[in-house]
């Protein structure tokens, strides 16, 4: 039996309309290429850093950071944080929710089969006919319904849930990068604070000793109150700074424990046990006795100076020389050879924004398809399973329905328009995320350059301060320098040391910020030439630090030799007229000071 031509044309027209709506009537999802076309970004980064670490395939986010900062203790903390952090656990749970929502949306596209079973009891007493009728019936029924998704309403809803699932995965990965950066920043900040506390304690002790010496001079009438009061304020300031550093250390420690989601502070105490240790180099009696023996044949002026120095009981004052180290590792820089679009589109927060935009686009398509008619097929199959009158025949039916929105069409249209605005908002959010990410990358590159310049400047300042304190230490060991002056110079050296440590922390923090700006993924490939050049630059940049460290490490070992050599030199110089006159001047100044003190005591 042939189909009428009019019905054939109608079927073809409806099929063509459905095909056009499915293929061309719905917005396409965004991929990286479409995002690059829709949002204009810079084609070149202001990158002037020389990287030395390239990306390796299969690296985790933690391994990427550890390739820049080689620290096994940090690796242990990162492992704990990634396992225990509550934010990571929450986002992992959200992934499970999104996966189940996707499964539910997929199940809604399948036919729905329901089974019903009922029991019916009826009783009738017909007195007129003297008939009593009772009936027990058990029936079963299977029903099937299936909405034919011709316009893609259910499929688009399923795709929306799929992009929400992908968004939850990207959110988790972005949270991992952020967590790694926060743990590393807090960890090195805590190490620097511990070291700063050790230096601040030494400075406070020195200021207390300076004030004690100045009070003695004030009591002897050698100083006035205008000179003494600033020293009191300096001591109070150093103690206040020490308390502030201890508070910051406790706050940073607690913040780090929250990130690790643990109450076991022994983890941090164990890793901080070697931070802030200060080596102590006292003004030993042995050096003083050696110097005295070498000066036995010196002039009487030198003997007077030695006796005056002994009268001050210098050996009992235990002058501490802080041998603090930075306690912070060296940080390497990544090689950046990719375009801005490639870097930004590789960030997980950007991928999350793209997935969110696609989820809104698919939801808009679903709401648009809801404006068109829906076709539903249904069927049922039933039978009386038990009855007092016998089992009934099998009953079945197949139905079809075509429903189109009429009265509620205005509601569906408004819902569709609302979703269109949601798509615009998601697109603008993506654009904001991209431009923010680009700004973060450029700011991080600038911060790296600035921190490296600051570190070089602080290194030069530390080297100059180190040379000065070495000279002053030798002069103090020979009794040519007052103790309070020596302690003041020592405080200047310790302050320069702490400034260098802070600059070192700023450099590490800048590298961590750059790591986060790159999305935890290092870009570029490591070439032989660039590797050699960068290695040479790194060696030259660190040579000054190495020299300073060697000089500092040798200082304690060479202090005795320095004192002995200085004593021998003084012996030879004492035989010369120029040196004798200088020693006589020092001796006379010290004798005058003691004479004044004796006169003051007698007067009192």
* 39 class by beta-carbon count within 10 Å (0-12 exposed, 13-18 middle, 19+ buried): middle
- Do 383 and 392 form a contact (C-beta atoms < 8 A)? yes
- The first and second tokens of residue 362, run together, are 């698919």
Instruction: Return the pLDDT at 393.
Output: 63
Q: CB under 8 Å to 372, separation ≥6 — which residues?
A: 21, 150, 151, 153, 404
DSSP state of 388: T
Q: How far is CA 25 from CA 131, 418, 483, in A?
A: 69, 18, 88
* CB-CB neighbours of 3 under 10 Å: 8
DSSP state of 576: S
DSSP 213-271: HHHHHHHTTSS-HHHHHHHHHHHHHHHHHHHHHHHHHHHHHHHHHHHHT---THHHHHH
| CATH fit for domain 28-109+155-283+318-370+428-526, picks 1.20.1600.10, 1.10.10.10, 3.20.20.450, 3.40.30.10 | 1.20.1600.10
C-alpha dihedral, 348 to 349 to 350 to 353, nearest 10°: 120
Beta bridge partners of 387: 137
User: Tens digits of per-residue pLDDT, 391-409?
Assistant: 556 677 777 777 777 778 8
User: Per-residue pLDDT averaged across 359-382, rounded?
Assistant: 89
CA 98, CA 101: separation in Å to the nearest integer? Answer: 5
Q: Report domain extents, the chain.
A: 28-109+155-283+318-370+428-526
- The first and second tokens of residue 219, run together, are 């009591």
- Do 507 and 452 form a contact (C-beta atoms < 8 A)? yes
Instruction: Return the pLDDT at 417.
Output: 95
User: Tens digits of per-residue pLDDT, 261-305?
Assistant: 998 888 888 777 666 554 333 333 333 333 333 444 344 433 433
Between 546 and 62, whose confidence is greater?
62
- Phi, psi dihedrals of residue 331, rounded to the nearest 5°: -110, 135
Show the CA angle centred on residue 75, arms to residues 279 and 516, nearest 5°: 110
CA 355, CA 163: separation in Å to the nearest integer? Answer: 5
CA 484, CA 469: separation in Å to the nearest integer? Answer: 13
User: Tens digits of per-residue pLDDT, 519-569?
Assistant: 998 754 333 333 333 333 333 333 333 333 433 333 434 443 334 344 334
Instruction: Return the pLDDT at 334.
Output: 87
Q: CB under 8 Å to 519, separation ≥6 — which residues?
A: 174, 177, 343, 346, 347, 348, 349, 350
Which 3 state secondary structure label does DSSP give 122?
strand
Instruction: Return the pLDDT at 347.
Output: 92
Distance of CA 58 to the CA centre of its chain: 21
Which of these, 199, 3, 173, lies nearest to 91 by C-alpha position? 173
3-state secondary structure 258-306: HHHCCCCCHHHHHHCCCCCCCCCCCCCHHHHHHHHHHCCCCCHHHHHHH
- The radius of gyration computed from the CA coordinates of the chain, to the nearest angstrom, equals 42
- The first and second tokens of residue 166, run together, are 């992908």
Instruction: Return the pLDDT at 599.
Output: 45
Of 161-165, 174-178, 210-214, 319-323, the least confident = 319-323
Which of these, 542, 64, 538, 528, lies nearest to 334 by C-alpha position? 64
- Do 173 and 386 form a contact (C-beta atoms < 8 A)? no
Between 85 and 222, whose confidence is greater?
85
DSSP state of 334: B
User: Tokens 């004192």 belong to which residue?
Assistant: 563
Sheet holding 131-148, edge to edge: 112-126, 131-148, 374-387, 395-403
- The full length of the chain comes to 604
CA 214, CA 599: separation in Å to the nearest integer? Answer: 18
Instruction: Return the pLDDT at 379.
Output: 84
Instruction: Return the pLDDT at 119.
Output: 73
Tell me the CB-side half-sphere exposure of residue 148, using CA atoms within 13 A. Answer: 13
- Phi, psi dihedrals of residue 364, rounded to the nearest 5°: -65, -40
Percent of the chain's residues with pLDDT above 90: 43
CA 418, CA 368: separation in Å to the nearest integer? Answer: 11
CA 501, CA 325: separation in Å to the nearest integer? Answer: 8
Of 116-125, 165-174, 422-431, the least confident = 116-125
What integer best gives the mean pLDDT of the chain? 76
Residue 27: which pLDDT band, with cuts at 50, 70 and 90?
confident
- The first and second tokens of residue 103, run together, are 């499964």
Distance of CA 497 to the CA centre of its chain: 25
Buried/exposed 415-438: b ≥16 CB within 10 Å, e otherwise: bbeebbebbeebbeebbebbeebb
Which 3 state secondary structure label does DSSP give 228?
helix
User: Tens digits of per-residue pLDDT, 450-479?
Assistant: 999 999 999 999 999 999 999 999 999 998
CA 49, CA 94: separation in Å to the nearest integer? Answer: 39
Instruction: Return the pLDDT at 391.
Output: 58
Alpha helices, H only, 478-576? 483-517, 528-575
């Amino acid at each position: 039996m042939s189909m009428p031509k009019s019905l054939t044309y109608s079927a073809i027209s409806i099929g063509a309309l459905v095909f056009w709506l499915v293929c061309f009537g719905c917005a396409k999802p965004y991929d990286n290429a479409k995002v690059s076309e829709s949002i204009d970004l810079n084609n070149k980064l202001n990158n002037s850093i020389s990287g030395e670490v390239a990306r390796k395939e299969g690296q985790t986010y933690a391994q990427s950071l550890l390739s820049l900062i080689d620290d096994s203790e940090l690796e242990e903390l990162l492992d704990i944080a990634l396992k225990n952090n509550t934010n990571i656990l929450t986002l992992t749970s959200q992934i499970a929710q999104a996966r189940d929502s996707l499964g539910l949306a997929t199940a809604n596209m399948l036919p729905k089969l329901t089974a019903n079973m009922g029991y019916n009891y009826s009783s009738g007493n017909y007195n007129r006919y003297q008939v009593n009728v009772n009936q027990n019936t058990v029936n079963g029924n299977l029903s099937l319904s299936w909405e034919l998704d011709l316009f893609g309403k259910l499929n688009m809803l399923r795709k929306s849930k799929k992009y929400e699932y992908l968004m939850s995965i990207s959110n988790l990965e972005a949270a991992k990068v952020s967590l790694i950066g926060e743990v590393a920043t807090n960890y090195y900040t805590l190490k620097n604070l511990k070291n700063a506390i050790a230096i601040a304690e030494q400075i406070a002790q020195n200021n207390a000793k300076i004030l004690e010496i100045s009070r003695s001079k004030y009591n002897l009438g050698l100083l006035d109150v205008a000179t003494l009061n600033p020293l009191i304020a300096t001591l109070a300031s150093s103690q206040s700074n020490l308390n502030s550093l201890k508070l910051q250390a406790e706050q940073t420690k607690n913040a780090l424990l929250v990130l690790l989601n643990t109450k076991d502070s022994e983890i941090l105490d164990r890793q901080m046990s070697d931070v802030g240790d200060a080596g102590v180099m006292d003004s030993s009696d042995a050096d003083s006795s050696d110097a005295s023996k070498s000066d036995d044949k010196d002039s009487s002026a030198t003997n007077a100076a030695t006796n005056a120095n002994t009268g001050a009981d210098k050996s009992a004052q235990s002058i501490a020389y802080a041998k603090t180290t930075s306690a912070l590792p060296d940080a390497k820089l990544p090689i950046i050879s990719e375009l801005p679009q490639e870097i930004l589109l590789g960030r997980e927060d950007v991928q999350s924004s793209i997935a969110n935009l696609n989820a809104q686009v698919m939801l808009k398509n679903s709401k648009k398809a809801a404006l068109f008619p829906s076709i539903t097929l249904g069927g049922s199959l039933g039978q009386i399973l038990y009855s007092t009158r016998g089992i009934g025949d099998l009953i079945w039916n197949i139905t079809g329905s075509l429903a189109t929105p009429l009265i509620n069409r205005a509601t569906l249209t408004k819902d569709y328009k609302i979703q269109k605005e949601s798509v615009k908002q998601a697109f603008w959010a993506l654009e904001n995320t991209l431009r923010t990410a680009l700004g973060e990358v450029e700011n991080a590159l600038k911060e790296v350059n600035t921190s490296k310049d600051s570190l070089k400047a602080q290194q030069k300042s530390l080297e100059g301060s180190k040379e000065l304190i070495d000279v002053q230490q030798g002069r103090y060991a020979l009794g040519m320098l007052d103790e309070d002056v020596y302690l003041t110079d020592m405080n200047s050296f310790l302050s320069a040391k702490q400034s260098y440590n802070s600059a070192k922390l700023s450099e590490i923090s800048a590298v961590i910020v750059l790591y986060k700006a790159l999305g935890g993924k290092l870009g570029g490939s490591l070439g032989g030439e660039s590797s050699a050049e960068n290695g040479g630059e790194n060696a030259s940049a660190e040579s000054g630090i190495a020299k300073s460290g060697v000089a500092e490490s040798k200082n304690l070992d060479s202090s005795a030799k320095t004192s002995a050599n200085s004593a021998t030199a003084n012996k030879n110089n004492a035989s010369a007229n120029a040196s004798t006159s200088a020693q006589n001047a020092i001796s006379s100044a010290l004798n005058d000071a003691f004479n004044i003190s004796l006169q003051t005591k007698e007067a009192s």
